[in-house]
A = this chain, B = another copy of it.
Amino acid sequence: MEDETVTPEGLPKRTGNNLDPWYHHYAARAAGLSASEVRALFAVASRPEVVSLAGGMPFVSALPDEFVMGSLERVMRERGPVALQYGSGQGTESIREHILEIMAIEGIEATLDNLVVTTGSQQALDLVAKLFLDPGDVVLAEAPSYVGALGVFRSYEAETVHMAVDEHGLVPAALQETIDRLTAEGRRIKLLYTIPNFQNPSGVTMSAERRAEVLQICRANEILVVEDNPYGLLWFDRPAPDAIRSLDEDGVIYLGSFSKTLAPGFRVGWALAPHAIREKLILANESAILSPSVFSQLVIAEYLEQVDWRTQIDTFRGLYRERKEAMLEALEDHLPELSWTNPNGGFFVWLDLPPELDSKAMLPRAVRELVAYTPGTAFFDDGGGRHNIRLSFCYPTPESIRLGVRRLANVVGGELDLLTTFAGTGSLQFDDRVRRTSTPPSNLA
């Protein structure tokens, strides 16, 4: 008879399951790390024949061919041993000086000392969550909100509660009402997470008045504001209002990034934090990665020093504006019965589907018809977004965007035909559907 407590090699067996011997060993927070249900599909969607309106990749090919070579050469020639070495957990002084200059464009006054450089602003967000979120804590966020932030909050066992947004951004009355309700329930609200400029995924920008109101409500309720601003400089017709951080030094952690205005391949972002918090952020950064890449920081600082980066950002602006216009025109041409947002910057348009259609259920058909998008459900922590789609115009060319939207219109039309056929009575009127799309859940005019 075989001994069932040992392996064929005579080693002790573990009690996990066949798929994962360590199944019972994970921390509770690991349950929050689940793969997106559409992940496998996106692997298929990366084939060249598929027009992807799904990703948020900046169009780095618009950078001049030799753009970083000069900076690379100078850094290696003049500061090689420093660039290759460990650095400080706070980041190099030269890059922090440039970051101050960049943030000043949006009205922010700050000191070098309160800046912490991170591996992209995603890591800054992870550190803030690690520092503040206990299991069961609440983070307030826009409805919808950035999928990568929702994942971070879940990974620390916090819950995201979404609040209504209109064309001026987060609705202050909804914020106050949510705070009152959660407080009455005894919930502990730690953070307000907001992307005030050209929000991911809705494309909406918070008005200057709203910024002041939201800040005032958060102060009164002792809620720390996390202002995530990767797209701020990429406006189309007029600059976004000054950053929320420009109104309050002690109540806001501001997150910034070089990933959208320069290149994500270097993985350099930052947090500007109230003084006492920034000390803890540095410790958390050192614990997580020892120090951000000195090499990346020096190359970016050298680039900012030597190159006319404002003009380069203008180039990006023009490029993305053109692509947004191509997308909106194509939507008007091919899906005139639907509604969508008209962003003044950034990468994304938010589309309302007829409420009969489920954006996640429709995705396999879309990929089969060679167009990919991100279903709205990715941007809600509460099951919302089923009748929404995020469309990205940042990466594909205007021609591809037009082709992609045409294919999407075919998919939507096909799904509606199917519903009409199976509804049998034929009583489903297209006009009814249009009216219903202009109501919540997303309420993005």
- A100 is an interface residue with CB less than 8 A from chain B: no
Known contacts: A15-B222, A219-B11, A283-B34. The answer to whether A27 contacts B131 by CB under 8 A is yes
A15–B221 CA distance with the chains assembled, in angstroms: 10
- A173 is an interface residue with CB less than 8 A from chain B: no
Total interface residues on A, CB under 8 Å, equals 87
- A265 is an interface residue with CB less than 8 A from chain B: yes
A296–B84 CA distance with the chains assembled, in angstroms: 11
Contact A264 B86 (CB under 8 A): yes
For window 20-51 of A, CB contacts with B under 8 Å fall at 20-23, 25-30, 33-35
Known contacts: A22-B224, A267-B289. The answer to whether A156 contacts B86 by CB under 8 A is no
Q: Mark A246-280, 1 if CB is under 8 A from B, else 0.
A: 00101100000001000111110000001011011
**Distance from A56 Cβ to chain B, minimum over Cβ atoms (Å):** 8
Please tell me which one of the listed residues B57, B68, B84, B295 contacts residue A63 in the complex, with CB atoms under 8 A apart. B84
Stoichiometry (number of copies): 2
Query: Which residues of A are interface residues toward B (Cβ below 8 A)?
Result: 11-12, 14-15, 19-23, 25-30, 33-35, 57-58, 60-61, 63, 65-66, 68-69, 72-73, 76, 80-87, 119-120, 122-123, 126, 130-134, 137, 148, 151-152, 155-156, 190, 216, 219-220, 222, 224, 248, 250-251, 259, 263-267, 274, 276-277, 279-280, 283-284, 286-296
A222–B12 CA distance with the chains assembled, in angstroms: 9
Contact B60 A132 (CB under 8 A): no
A284–B12 CA distance with the chains assembled, in angstroms: 29
